[in-house]
Amino acid sequence: VQLQASGGGLVQAGGSLRLSCAGSGRTFSTDTVAWFRQAPGKEREFVAGIRWSGGHTYYADSVKGRFGITKDSAKNTMYLQMNSLKPEDTAVYYCASGRGIILSATRSSASYAYWGQGTQVTVSS
């Protein structure tokens, strides 16, 4: 399984970006697919996730109401729409996927077997 993340960039505070995560090698049909981010000097943290089958979504409290995660099964691609961006959202964003992830483990990076290469998001104040 290969994950290709894209869509990062430089944006002013209050602006928007949309990240994409395209999967190849197999379909996401029974996966949980998620975004994590890591800022310099900080640990990697969960941002948002979606269960491909059923479409249930999960968000970190810090992004709830500002970010939206969606999927396109025909393209085997997940998206993260990021609105009202803040300087503290600056980080490298990684997409990840895994199967058999129980609900209580959705926010743990250790639950995910496959990772994309990361895309930089920089929000200027």
Structure tokens at 58: 């999960």
Helix or strand holding residue 31 (H, E): strand 31-38
How far from the centroid of its chain's Cα atoms is residue 1's Cα?
16
Percentage above 90 pLDDT, the chain: 96
% of residues, the chain, pLDDT over 70: 100
Categorize the per-residue pLDDT at 5 as very low, low, confident or very high, splitting at 50, 70 and 90.
very high
How far lies 95's CA from each of 13, 14, 87, 119, 124, in Å? 23, 23, 20, 9, 23
In three-state secondary structure terms, 110 is: helix
Q: For 19-76, write each residue's pLDDT tens digit.
A: 999 999 999 999 999 999 999 999 999 999 999 998 999 999 999 999 999 999 999 9
For 61, phi then psi, to 5°, come to -60, -30
